[in-house]
Amino acid sequence: MKYVIACIADTPRAEDVCDHAIWAAQRLDTDLEFLHVLEYQPDAAPITDLSGGIWMGAQETLLLELAELDKRRFELARTQGQQRLQSAVERARAQGALRTDGKQRQGLLVDTLLEIEADTRLFVMGPHSGPPRSSRLLPDHKLEASVRALRRPILVANQPFRAPARFMLAFDGSETSRHTVEAVSRSPLLTGLACQIVVVQSDGKDGSDALQWARSTLVQAGFAAEGVLLDGEPAPQLLRHATEQAMDLLVMGAYGHSRIRQLVLGSTTTALLNQAAVNLLILR
């Protein structure tokens, strides 16, 4: 059994992650597991070297107090995580997702996700907490690291949940984006949703043939798919179009060798993961 894994730790959009994960699990008819990863490790917490300015006895007492404080913080974080898991499971079951469980693990987020990836069908994540990011220009390192490391699809919940009715698929004719189209055509996750395939023509290249292939592939699979050709730089054009068209979801592949590859792995990684106001579905 492969699960939909919803990562609810350290994100201000925990409820949105929950609701998107519930929707995905019901669409895929698979079990749902909420995951809370405790990255805080008290044994590894650095303690400032206080020698020189404090008598040895006072220093030892202070170090012991700091150690106790670290343990207390860890226990509080663990308890808070367990409460979040319980609330998420109850929320899912109230919405009809009865095959639901919650687990808490300790370790680094990406390492933990890699350990469970073999049993995962889809990861659902949200933007992570950190310094104020109102400008959405600061990188979300945890999310970016997850996108780089994982081979399973990742659904990034950037918006309050509403059941998706239409999605936009970024396509450039590359082998990677063709695999993305084929994956979408086979998966029940997006079946029945209206689809708009967007090709951004750049460097003087005509994207008409690529667009026709993608559209015919999805139409044959039963999708109501239409095509759109845009000109310019892929990142800003895709993000602008998704916003103007009020798309529920932007779907794209990762780890190709084209201009769209740069949206995930190149210099515009931050632009995609931190500036997109639309939900993202990143496929491998």
Residue-wise pLDDT tens digits, 146-176: 888 899 999 999 999 999 999 999 998 888 8
| Residue pLDDT, tens place only, 167-200 | 999 998 888 889 999 999 999 999 999 999 999 8
- Over residues 126-132, the mean pLDDT reads 62
CATH superfamily of 164-283: HUPs (3.40.50.620)
Alpha carbon distances (Å) from 122 to 34, 44, 126, 137, 189? 12, 31, 13, 27, 10
Q: Which residues sit opposite 250 in a β-bridge?
A: 168, 280
Residue 154: what are its φ and ψ, rounded to 5°?
A: -125, 125
Q: What pLDDT was estimated at residue 56?
A: 59
Cβ density class 160-198: b for 16+ within 10 Å, e for less:
ebeebeebbbbbbbbebbbebbebbbebebbeebbbbbb
Q: What's the pTM?
A: 0.86
Contacts of 136 (CB under 8 A, 6+ apart): 274, 275
**Is-same-fold flag (1-158; 164-283)?**
yes
| pLDDT in the model for residue 132 | 41
Query: What's the mean pLDDT when you consider all of the chain?
Result: 85
Q: Which CATH superfamily is domain 1-158 in?
A: HUPs (3.40.50.620)
Amino acid 191 reads: T
Q: Where are the domains of the chain?
A: 1-158, 164-283
pLDDT digits (tens, 9 = 90+) for 15-48: 999 999 999 999 999 999 999 999 866 555 455 5
